[in-house]
Structure 1
Amino acid sequence: MTVSTTSSTDTLSQDFVRFAVEAGVLRFGEFKTKAGRLSPYFFNAGLFNDGARLGRLAEFYAQRLIASGLEFDMLFGPAYKGITLAAAVAVELARRGRNVPFAYNRKEAKDHGEGGVLVGAPVQGRVLIIDDVISAGTSVRESIAMIQAAGATPCGVAIALDRQEKATENGNDAPYSAVQWVERQLGLRVCAIATLSDLLQYLQSTADPQLGTHFASVAAYRDRYGV
Structure 2
Amino acid sequence: MAPLASYKADFLRAAIAGNILKFGSFELKSKRISPYFFNAGDFYRADLLEALATAYAHAIIEAHRSGAIQFDIVFGPAYKGIPLATAATIRLGQLDPATYGHTTCYSFDRKEAKDHGEGGNIVGAPLKGKRVLIVDDVITAGTAKREAIAKIEKEGGIVAGIVVALDRMEKLPSPDGDDSKPMPSAIGELRKEYGLPIFAILTLDDIIEGIKGLASEEDIRRTEEYRAKYKATD
Relative to the length of structure 2, the TM-score reads: 0.88
SS of aligned partner of 2:138: coil
Q: 1:136 Cα deviation (Å)?
A: 0.7
1:185 aligns with 2:193: yes
Q: Is the 8 A contact 1:9 1:67 kept in 2?
A: no
SS of aligned partner of 2:126: coil
Distance 1:171 1:95, change over 3 A: farther
Q: Is the 8 A contact 1:129 1:156 kept in 2?
A: yes
Q: Is the 8 A contact 2:71 2:160 kept in 1?
A: yes
Q: 1:168 Cα deviation (Å)?
A: 2.7
Q: Could you tell me how far apart the structure 2 residues matched to 1:192 and 1:13 are?
A: 10
Aligned to 1:113: 117
* Percent identity over paired residues: 42
Q: 1:110 Cα deviation (Å)?
A: 1.4
Distance 1:73 1:120, change over 3 A: same
1:65 aligns with 2:60: yes
Q: Could you tell me how far apart the structure 2 residues matched to 1:171 and 1:22 are?
A: 39
Aligned to 2:83: 84
Relative to the length of structure 1, the TM-score reads: 0.91
Distance 1:8 1:148, change over 3 A: farther
Q: 1:109 Cα deviation (Å)?
A: 1.3
157, 160, 165: which one pairs with 2:162?
157
Q: 1:51 Cα deviation (Å)?
A: 1.8
Letter in 1 for 2:124: G
SS of aligned partner of 2:150: helix
Aligned to 1:3: none
Q: 1:9 Cα deviation (Å)?
A: 6.0
Q: 1:53 Cα deviation (Å)?
A: 1.1
Q: 1:117 Cα deviation (Å)?
A: 1.5
Q: 1:223 Cα deviation (Å)?
A: 0.9
Deviations 1:15-49 (A, max 9, x none): 22222111110001110111110000000001001
Letter in 2 for 1:47: D
Deviations 1:151-183 (A, max 9, x none): 110010010110000013536456100111111
Q: Is the 8 A contact 1:14 1:199 kept in 2?
A: no
Q: RCO higher in 1 or 2 (8 Å CA, sep ≥ 6)? A: 1
1:166 aligns with 2:161: no
Deviations 1:110-132 (A, max 9, x none): 11111122111101311000000
SS of aligned partner of 1:219: helix
SS of aligned partner of 1:34: coil
26, 46, 51: which one pairs with 1:56?
51
Q: Could you tell me how far apart the structure 2 residues matched to 1:45 and 1:212 are?
A: 24
Aligned to 1:19: 14
Aligned to 1:147: 152
